[in-house]
Amino acid sequence: MKMGIMMIRRTIQDEIEQSLFKGKAIIIYGARQVGKTTLILAIQKSASVPSIYLNCDEPDIRRSLSDKTSTELKMLVGGNKLVLIDEAQRVGTIGLTIKLLTDTAPDIQVIATGSSSFELSSRIEEPLTGRKREFRLYPFSLTELGQIYSPLEVRRIAERCMIFGLYPEIINTPEAAETALREIAGSYLYKDILTLQQIRNTEALERLVQSVALQIGHQVSYHELAQQVGVDKKTIESYLRILEQSFIIFRLGSFSRNLRNELKKSRKIYFVDTGIRNAIINNFNPPELRNDIGSLWENFVIAERLKRNHNQQLFPHAYFWRSHQKQEIDYLEELNGELRGYEIKWRENRMKIPVGFSSAYPDCPVSLINRENMMEFVG
């Protein structure tokens, strides 16, 4: 069965629609091609008020939104009550523009999207303090695919999604997945980010992304990355921050209550979409032919959990745990003072909780997440 993008309603659409006309601008962050435009056009279609869509990739639209007075902006908007501003980070003064519309025309609802949280948030943070509600849109989640697939079918295609990811274009045209992924990874990673962030050392960024892609599920040393890439540690930290704010990667810190045997400053880096990661290392082999299947599965499951949490507007602190004796818990969440641990396994149906962890945190339950129960964890 071939899926169509428009058939899948994004989980956060309901929450966004419930937030409309409450006196705050709506900001939707997400990487390019995850479906931001499709989402806001769906919201526009279901809205019962006049609306206008403004695409800031168009030079004339950018000019019409840049350095304008409230009077000029009202003339642009006309009688429309819902204003959709796509790729808003392309407008240098977008924060002030949205502030003027929100302050001087309280009956107008602005929804703005941006592909880089760094670019957009830096331009709206001060002007829109207390005047905005933020959302993140990720590639499709397995739960969202459940709208058109049965639970059994979702379980069956999960392995393919681990290999090729869940970008809408990949789901919509699976027969061209490899080509599409290479285009997305290439154009976004090495074109948009380099242009937006004015990064001049293209080769260093490419080497860094390759190195990180080969180390998913493992502790990462910024010092070692700097040596591998050939730049200083400060540059590595800057590039990783840009990749994270562009929704390519996310980082987990190590959990510690300052016990002597715990690692305190260690990091793990994962990709938001495992298809992008596999495109970067040029490996689309099936699970049975991979030597990285354990790490890839761990990345896939944690990324799906990340989507689940954001889609449900849950914001736990996420960590991993590791001791100097190399004992480890793959994933931890702390929410409302409650700590829970998870061991993520591809094949195993049993787990052994490290003694160092169970003795230090006897009240923390640890669950095994494998292929049998993964959907309960990410649903």
pLDDT in tens, 7-52: 799 999 999 999 999 999 999 999 889 999 999 999 999 999 999 9
Q: How many domains does the chain have?
A: 2
Examine the pLDDT at 3 and tell me if it is beyond 60: no
Same domain, 130 and 165: no
Query: Would you state the pLDDT for residue 6?
Result: 46
Q: State mean pLDDT over 313-338.
A: 94
352 contacts: CB under 8 Å, gap ≥ 6? none
The single-letter code of the amino acid at 68 is: K
* Confidence grade of residue 84 (pLDDT, cut at 50, 70, 90): very high
According to DSSP, the residues that pair with 322 across neighbouring strands are 328
Q: Which of 136, 154, 182 is the last residue of a domain?
A: 136
Same domain, 92 and 233: no
Are the beta carbons of 375 and 149 closer than 8 angstroms? no
Same domain, 312 and 371: yes
Q: Which of 73, 105, 136 is the last residue of a domain?
A: 136
Examine the pLDDT at 5 and tell me if it is beyond 80: no
Same domain, 181 and 119: no
The CATH number for 44's domain is 3.40.50.300
Same domain, 80 and 183: no
Query: Would you state the pLDDT for residue 119?
Result: 62
Locus of tokens 């379980």: 155
Same domain, 224 and 316: yes
Distance CA 268, CA 266 (A): 7
Same domain, 45 and 166: no
The single-letter code of the amino acid at 120 is: L
pTM: 0.93
How do residues 236-284 score in pLDDT, each as one tens digit? 998 999 899 889 999 999 998 866 655 567 899 999 999 999 999 999 9
Same domain, 24 and 52: yes
The DSSP 8-state label assigned to residue 175 in this structure reads G
Range with the poorest average pLDDT among 61-70, 191-200, 249-258, 300-309: 191-200
Are the beta carbons of 145 and 174 closer than 8 angstroms? no
Same domain, 175 and 103: no
Same domain, 50 and 171: no
Query: Would you state the pLDDT for residue 1?
Result: 44
> What domain range includes position 276?
142-378
How do residues 122-134 score in pLDDT, each as one tens digit? 677 777 878 899 9
Same domain, 187 and 254: yes
Q: Which of 136, 162, 195 is the last residue of a domain?
A: 136
Helices (H), the chain: 12-18, 36-46, 59-65, 70-77, 94-104, 117-124, 142-145, 151-164, 168-172, 177-184, 193-197, 202-213, 222-229, 233-245, 274-281, 293-311, 355-360, 374-378
Distance CA 75, CA 69 (A): 10
Query: Would you state the pLDDT for residue 339?
Result: 97
Same domain, 211 and 336: yes
